[in-house]
Chains A and B, each alone.
Chain A
Amino acid sequence: MDRWACVSVPALPLQIVARSKPEWRSLPTVVVSEDKPQGKVQWANTAALQSGVLPGQSYALALSLCNGLRACVVPPDEVARVTEELKAALWCYSPAVEVGEEAGVFWLDASGLGRLYTSLVSWSDTLRERLMKLGFATCIVVGFSRFGSYALARASRQSLVLTSGADERTRVERVPLARLDIEPQFRDVLSKLGIHTIAALLSLPASGLLRRFGQTAARLHAMAAGEFAALKAEEWLAPLIVRSLLDAAESDSTRLLFVIKRMLAELLSKLVVRAEALAGLQIRFVLDRKQGKVETEPLRPAVPTLDGMLILDLVRLRLESWQLEHGVIEVELEATGVPSSSEQLRVFAEQPRRDLGAADRAIARLRAEFGPDSVVHAQLCDGHLPEACFRWQPMAALKPAAVNGEDWEPSAAVEDEPEEKGVARTLALRPLVRRFFRKPLQLSAPARQLRNDGWLIRGPEPGPVTHTAGPFLVNGGWWLREIQREYQFVMTRREDLYWVYQDRRRRRWFLHGLVQ
């Protein structure tokens, strides 16, 4: 590799903000570590800097300096996502791309690309324009070494294509250390020592630097002195997609299944080559007569697998629930793989009495047939309103029931105390179960002047209400939508127990549940 190119995207988090909020571009804007007054300003744009805002200040201080300051947090995930996006774009222009540890820095192998694009300048300009279209301003330096191209890319405002190694060395020596991503404490000490440029850094003895500042400093010195470091290009992994064009439009799901079976075998063999197992499968159909594309929810086996039949079974369940009105002319499968693990150890593991794996497979089948939200379990919550006391959570796998000793403590405690048995006995009424409706049923209000037939909760059969217990009040939520409920247990002549409430705000009665 004889030519290196370094692509620098300065102040990447700030550029991410500018791209997502273009209306902020002309306004003073900062990226803060957290959206709190104590949050630190990490990046500030020119307008903010002109208002006296500086990186390192607290958000509160920055706000006091600049009234109209815009701020947002750019989480590391977002930076990582954009880095991936940039990397994908760079791969279109070079066969080898290395992502630097410093956010917004990439190295590319530019060897021979000048011939492809008439010159390296042309290649560099094309690349810069492509990145500009993506919404990022960049500086690209094509040089002769990793450090040289990097240092100049960080220090320059304009892209450069260097013509000789000597030219690179001359320019690099003038680069201020402040422009490089050096550990701040080390940079501060160098600054105190009057070492502000690469040339000044090189004037220091390497052994002295190593002794005083450790390996990182010595490495910087060595790199600046011209030590060679190979490009650590990331391997290009094409997405695992297989497509199949059908001779004639197909709307029979069984025949489609056979098409998919063939494609699946190809997909699985590719996964095997990558030492991966299938964790998800996306099916897309191109419909006949320009009716567009349809795609399934991703199918997920209970555990990542290379078992084609098992996956095909899930595909079958999914296809059975589909109605394909128009014929399919193209099928596309996209696999999501995860590194496959060895299953050898399972031989020695104790087999549980109940086969949870079988249960998980059954759940996977249900989810395949009825959708990912079709299997749920109840999770208890902390709330005053009955409907806020639990929530349904989608479930992908079965967990063994946890027996919590504390759950049983109350009854145990009662048994331990002989004198308490009297109380327990007295209170040991027949076990009652309260079931409540997903949506309370509206009731007619009890008449002020009850006729002989009284308040009929559920028609004449159970009879009118004969007893009530309550009211028990639940009200709150005033900060959002106020709720005022007066709950009562009511008993009908047939001794049916109902659980009703009056919504005081709406002045209506509702049946919320039954007691059995």
Chain B
Amino acid sequence: MRRCAPLWCKSNYSFLEGASHPEELVEEALRLGYSAIGVTDRDGVYGSVRAHLAAQEQGVRLIIGSEITITDGSTIVLLAQDRAGYANLCRLITRGRLRHEKGQSSVSYAEVAEHAPGLVALWGGDRSSLVSRTKFDAEAAGNLRDAFGDRLYGMLARHKREQEPLQEAILRERARQLGLPLVAASEVLYHIAERRRLQDVLACIREGVVLSAAHTLLKPNAEHVLKSPHALAALFEDDIAALDRSAEIAARCKFSLSELRYRYPSEKLPDGTTSIEWLRSLAATGARERYAGSLPPAVREQLDKELTIIEKLDYAGYFLTMWEIVQFCRVQGILCQGRGSAANSVVCFCLGITAIDPVRMGLLFERFLSMERAEPPDIDLDIEHERREEVIQHVYAKYGRTHAAMVANVIRYRARSAVRDVGKALGLAPTSLDRLAKLLSHWDHADSSSLRNAGFDPEVPVHAHLLDLTEQILDFPRHLSIHPGGFLLGHEPVSDLVPIENGAMENRTVIQWDKDDVEAIGLFKVDLLGLGALYQLHLCFELLREHTGVELSMATIPPRDKRTFDLICQGDTVGVFQIESRAQMAMLPRLRPENFYDLVIEVSIVRPGPITGGMVHPYLRRRSGQEEVTYPHASLEPVLKKTLGVPLFQEQVMRLAIVAADYSPGEADQLRRDMAAWRRTGRIEAHRERLISRMQQKGISLEFAERVFKQILGFGEYGFPESHAASFALIAYATAFLRTHYPSEFTCSILNAQPMGFYAPATIVDDAKRHGVQILPIDVCASSWQCTLVRVPGSGAFAVRMGLRYVKGLGELQRVCIETAQQQASFVSLPDFVRRTGLDVRSLSSLAEVGAFECFDLPRRQAIWQVRSLVQERESALELTSLGRKARFAGLTPIEQVAWDYRTSSHSPRAHPLALLRSELTRQGLPDARRLSALRDGARVRFAGLVICRQRPGTASGVTFMTLEDETGFANIVFWQQVFDAFAVLARTASFLGVSGRLQKQDGVVHIIAEEAWQPQLPLPTQVGSRDFH
């Protein structure tokens, strides 16, 4: 077989150009008998890690390179010969990318020449200036030749196009003049010819045209396939030496991504101490603070163990970085807390990164870090969301843009986007595609039946193409976005490791690899994630300090407050982090959490993992004493004791695999990773046989083994590690405590932290009112932009004054205008307000409609009428005084007032819409939500309320859950699929809904099993937004 190598292959990471995964290119190269392949994506090395992993697995040598765009629009292919060359390539791409907006790049020939060391350049192809009559620059060509020396080649690319012989003639002549050797290397865009169709479609998506109008935007033939050495030999039979030269070049390019040596940035250490010494010192200091001077032996032992592993793996710098970020947050007063597997580490606990004591909780450190795995630890830091950008910019400032960049997130084609984009390229009607896309779920894929359901006919060729091509395009990268909070930090410039480019967001720079790539290469990622609940807690602590003088923090909240747990047990948790959803509220009275660990279980039990694994009911039965606590095998008792013999956490599944199926800790961790990705990869099936058979060998029943495996699949959907649940439970408890003891402060803070959580502001306001919090309406003389606390005269309590931010139509500009005017002097009249704020008619009308001018003794309609006149006067040069008769308007009825409140501010401080209709509802025999719980189980009942939530969980087999609200509380409605379908229009669209059905009471949880839905015959309350099907 002839020795040659394909050197110019573009994978699908040349976004919307290449039509094969990097892995496919590598596998096909191996099948065709190549020993090396060059992957040269356009202006990037996006696919290099995947190609590298595949090449390692297949035993093919990967040559990493890139097709670089020059400022004149031409291209040149660069290949990394060694580590220095790879760094030069990354630096060159970084330079080209950073000078352009996201998605574009270009460098000059001078810059290419400047970065020549360690790189091989292939100059040719139809977009190259070497074959162009107009773009060729002889001086630049000479400079390139001087910079690259014998590493600059003229590239012969043959794709059987009619223009190529002429272009090749020009190239040969110029190469002769420049003294360049020639190499044969055609452009490869797909690994098999069948992908040509997909490549056409990708070109159409990229250019935004349909296939029939794409013309020369498409390649003229299917010659961009990865050809066999025999086929290449036939193609270049007239210049076989040029083909042989490709093998020589492949031999010259010895660089592999395995050579990347990553060094974590060193902290500036005091007194020349080493990183690990500094870390040990900080951990010891932190431990003394955490344990008030008396360090328990178990903690000391665990601390030593962890620090030893950290030292051996040389990860001290990473922990110091996280500590430094946490310190920054502390100094700046930004609330933060570590989550995820980091909570398994006592070092993280002592450094103040996490708030959970892993020793006391008995958490598995190996889930976080182990010698065997020797993989970078993953510390996720939750930061209050309003101030996360400050922390991100601090990291950029501390390490510099060269040494810190955010990790990318590769947006890939999923079923819906695939159907939309491919269908559009095929010229199908967007509405039909929209219908098909909506029939598909996120992980689904289109098939014949879904096509038929959407009105397509799979027998029609174009529809068959749609089916085929959407299947092929699934998981293809479409474009790059930014990871929610992942940072890559490096001691050396990050752009020596991977190119950096601009993100779509201002002031964000992003690397070209995603988190999986970073992990696979063994680089450290720092995750800085935004969390609304922390921001709310921050606001609440500030309100407490300002208004009551109470100094509280996450650390000083009393840990075992009975009143707090009592309210939690009742499911009275609107606004409480993680346990406020409909499903959590329904679970709370059954699980009845009595301590912190119960909350940890509560947080993690209402998850698809335990639900689909069938673990919820056994746990509840055992907890209530209805079922004996047994263990499938004596060896599993230590693993499952905390959860009464029922596995609920990821760590337990890992331990189960270790104890019951003889997995090593590393294999158990691999099981965990495969759990997370089973739907995509199917790798989990490889564990099935092994797990079940080994468990049976240990005497564990087949039924239990099957159940454990089923749960593992469930965890793939979404399962919590115990440590993560514990971190969240801590925030859940803190918010529940504040809600119980400081309802006004809690309400005010959660309203100011919006948008966050599960409920709309209206629900939070009404819930607060039910708990005795007085809510005061928006008032331009009394309201600030944010909601504020106002002392209620004659009592120590505080009322919440709604802020101007809740007026629809007011934004940042209006905030500045109003606040500036407020600072000058209080408003004395409407003309004064209109004149000094300078607001436009629209904003003033919004304020008038919400009743914010009632402080000037102006009813809303009168205010609407007046502001228009006052604005005219303000803008008119002449002071006009109306001499005409005055307009009179009817006053608003109470129902209208509430309706206006909802329309203009999405809530009403005055009353719940149904409170005003209660007499009529009662006359019609409709009970309120509070009375429902007093009715007997099985009673037939009719109920009407505002729909605040519609949910159809994937685990509920088509059942739709609805929460209806009235002035006394919530009612949970269950719609079986047939009932929902029968009343679909009403059930989907009505904001005020009546249901008839049977009452179901179990463990204090009340549901109405709907049999019928109807439109209540009443003056319709206002439209209230509900959270639907999220």
- Is there contact, CB below 8 Å, between B431 and A479? no
Given A35-B431, A71-B431, answer yes or no on A474-B221 (Cβ-Cβ < 8 Å).
yes
Report the Cα distance A382→B215, complex, angstroms.
6
Q: A36–B887 Cα gap in the complex (Å)?
A: 45
Say if the beta carbon of B814 comes within 8 Å of chain A. Answer: no
A462-495 near B? 1/0 per residue, CB < 8 Å: 0000000111111110111000000100000000
Contact A475–B133 (Cβ < 8 Å):
no
The stretch from B162-170, B315-323, B508-516 touching chain A is: B162-170
Q: Which residues of the other chain, A, contact B985 by a CB distance below 8 angstroms?
A: 51-52, 65-66
**B956 at the A/B interface (Cβ < 8 Å)?**
no
> Could you tell me if B169 and A479 are in contact, using CB atoms closer than 8 angstroms?
no
Contact (Cβ within 8 A) A205 B220: no
Q: Quick check: which of A222-230, A298-306, A408-416, A442-450 contacts chain B, the rest being far away?
A: A408-416
Instruction: Tell me which of B8-16, B254-262, B877-885 binds A.
Output: B877-885
Cross-chain pairs A/B with CB under 8 angstroms, 10 sampled: A37-B430, A193-B864, A193-B889, A194-B861, A208-B882, A208-B887, A383-B216, A427-B169, A473-B223, A487-B162
Q: B220 and A473: CB pair below 8 A? A: yes
Q: For the complex, give the distance between the alpha carbons of A66 and B1028 in Å.
A: 18
Q: Is B161 an interface residue (CB 8 A)?
A: yes
Contact B884 A207 (CB under 8 A): yes
Interface range on chain B: under 10, 10 to 19, 20 to 34, or 35 or more?
A: 35 or more
Does A165 sit within 8 A of B, measured CB to CB?
no
From 855 to 894 in chain B, residues with beta carbon under 8 angstroms from any chain A beta carbon are 861, 864-865, 868-869, 872, 880, 882-890
**Known contacts A192-B861, A208-B869, A419-B177; A381 and B887 CB within 8 A of each other:** no
Query: In the assembled complex, which residues on chain B have CB atoms less than 8 Å from the CB atom of A469?
Result: 165
The answer to whether the Cβ of B134 comes within 8 Å of any Cβ in the partner chain is yes
- A364 CB, nearest partner CB in chain B, Å: 34
Interface residues of B in 703-759 (CB under 8 A from A): none
Segment 194-253 of B: residues with Cβ below 8 Å from A: 197, 200, 211-212, 215-216, 218, 220-223
B170 in contact with A37 (CB, 8 Å): no
**A480 & B212 in contact (Cβ 8 Å cutoff):** yes
- Greatest chain B CB density within 10 A among A211, A410, A426, A487 is at A211
Decide: A478 near B430, CB < 8 A? Known: A189-B845, A414-B133. no
Compute how far the CA of A211 lies from the CA of B878 in the bound complex, rounded to whole angstroms. Answer: 13
- A384 interfacial contact with B, CB 8 Å: yes
B882 and A207 within 8 A (CB): yes
Listed residue (A35, A381, A476, A478) with the most chain B CB atoms within 10 angstroms of its CB? A476
Task: Using A35-B429, A63-B435 as known contacts, say yes or no to A205 and B886 having CB atoms under 8 A apart.
Answer: yes
A-contacting residues, B973-1030, CB 8 Å? 985-986, 988-989
Q: Is the CB of B134 within 8 A of A410?
A: yes
- For the complex, is B434 an interface residue (Cβ under 8 Å from A)? yes
Given A381-B215, A473-B221, 6 other A-B contacts at CB below 8 A?
A35-B431, A194-B890, A212-B869, A384-B215, A472-B162, A479-B197
A157 → chain B, closest Cβ, in Å? 24
Shortest B452–chain A CB gap in Å is: 14
A195: nearest chain-B partner, CB-CB: B889
Q: Which of B106-154 contact A (CB under 8 A)?
A: 133-134, 136, 138
Does B438 count as interface, using CB distance less than 8 angstroms? Answer: yes
A66: chain B residues within 8 A (beta carbon) = 985
In Å, the complex CA distance between A64 and B988 comes to 10
Contacts of A65 in B (CB 8 A): 985, 988-989
Q: Which of B134, B174, B200, B431 interacts with A63 by CB under 8 Å?
A: B431
Residue A294 is within 8 A (CB to CB) of chain B in the complex: no
Given contacts A410-B133, A423-B170, A423-B173, contact A63 B221 (CB under 8 A): no
B849 within 8 A of A: yes
The answer to whether B865 touches A193 (Cβ under 8 A) is yes
Contacts of B160 in A (CB 8 A): 470-473
- Chain A 59-93 per-residue mask, 1 if CB under 8 angstroms from chain B, else 0: 11001111000010000000000000000000000
Closest Cβ of chain A to B246, distance in Å, is 22
User: Which partner residue on chain B sits nearest A469 by CB separation?
Assistant: B165
Residue of A nearest to B210 (CB): A479
- Indicate whether A213 reaches chain B with its CB closer than 8 angstroms: yes
Size of A's binding interface in residues, CB under 8 A: 54
Q: A211-B872, A479-B426 are in contact. Are A59 and B431 (CB under 8 A)?
A: yes
Partner of B431, one of A37, A193, A211, A383: A37
Q: Let me know if B884 and A205 touch, CB within 8 A.
A: yes
Binary contact track A396-434/B, C-beta < 8 Å → 1, others 0: 000000000000011001100101101100110000000
The smallest beta-carbon distance between A284 and chain B, in angstroms, is 40
List of B residues within 8 angstroms of A426 by Cβ = 169, 173
In the assembled complex, the CB of B590 is this many whole angstroms from the nearest CB of chain A, namely: 35
Distance, CA A63 to CA B211, complexed state (A): 27
Residue B483 CB within 8 A of the other chain: no
> What A residues does B215 contact at CB under 8 A?
381-384, 388
A413, A417, A472: the one within 8 Å of B161 (CB): A472
Is B138 within 8 A of A409, CB to CB? no
Complex-state Cα separation, A451 to B197, whole angstroms: 41
A194 CA to B133 CA, complexed, in Å: 74
B465 within 8 Å of A (CB atoms): yes
CB pair A423 B426 closer than 8 Å: no
Q: Is A134 engaged at the interface, CB distance under 8 Å to the other chain?
A: no
Decide yes or no whether A246 CB sits under 8 A from chain B: no
A515 to chain B, nearest CB (A): 12
Q: Are A192 and B849 in contact (CB under 8 A)?
A: yes
Assembled-state Cα–Cα distance A246/B429 (Å): 56
CA distance A384 to B223 in the complex (A): 14
CA distance A487 to B221 in the complex (A): 12
Q: Is B839 an interface residue (CB 8 A)?
A: no
Residues of chain A lying within 8 A (CB to CB) of residue B426: 479
CA distance A464 to B774 in the complex (A): 103
Is B462 on the interface with A (CB-CB < 8 A)? yes
Is A310 interfacial (CB-CB < 8 Å)?
no
Nearest-Cβ distance from residue B844 to partner chain A, whole angstroms? 12
Closest to A486 in B: B160
Measured CA separation A150–B884 after assembly (Å): 29
Q: Does A204 contact B (CB under 8 A)?
A: yes
A248 to B437 CA separation, bound complex (whole angstroms): 71
Would B170 and A60 count as touching, CB distance under 8 A? Answer: no
With known contacts A35-B431, A64-B438, A208–B884 Cβ distance under 8 A: yes
- Determine the distance from Cα of A419 to Cα of B170 in the docked complex, in whole angstroms: 13
Residue in B closest to A418 when the chains form the complex, CB atoms: B138
Contact call B431/A36, Cβ cutoff below 8 A: yes
Given contacts A52-B985, A211-B880, A212-B865, contact A476 B200 (CB under 8 A): yes
Closest B residue to A64 by beta carbon equals: B438
A136 CB to nearest B CB, Å: 28
A427 to B985, CA, bound (A): 73
- Per-position contact with B for A166-199: 1 when CB-CB < 8 Å, else 0? 0000000000000000000000010011100000
Closest to B137 in A: A417
Instruction: Please state if A423 and B138 are interface contacts (CB–CB under 8 Å).
Output: no
CB proximity to B under 8 Å, residues A246-289: none
Chain A residue nearest to B219 in the complex (CB): A476
Taking CB atoms, residues of chain A closer than 8 Å to B429 are 35
Cα–Cα, bound, A59→B200 (Å): 30
Q: B138 to A205, Cβ gap below 8 A?
A: no
**How far is A423 from B131 in the complex, measured between Cα atoms in Å?**
11
A409 to B133: give the CA distance in the assembly, Å.
Answer: 9
Q: Find out whether the CB atom of B869 lies under 8 angstroms from the CB atom of A36.
A: no
Q: Are A36 and B861 in contact (CB under 8 A)?
A: no
Out of B222, B845, B872, name the residue touching A475 (CB < 8 Å).
B222
A342 to chain B, nearest CB (A): 43
In the complex, residue of chain B having the shortest beta-carbon distance to the beta carbon of A474: B220
Measured between beta carbons, the chain A residues less than 8 angstroms from B888 are 203
> Among the interface residues B138, B166, B884, which one has the most CB atoms of the partner chain A within 10 A?
B884
Beta-carbon contacts under 8 Å, A3-43 to B? 35-37, 39
**Residues on the A chain within 8 Å of B166, using CB:** 427
Min CB distance A412 to B, Å, is: 9
B430: A residues at CB distance < 8 A? 35-37
Q: How far apart are the CA atoms of A514 and B600 in the complex, in Å? A: 83
List, in ascending order, chain B residues with CB within 8 A of A475's CB. Answer: 220-222
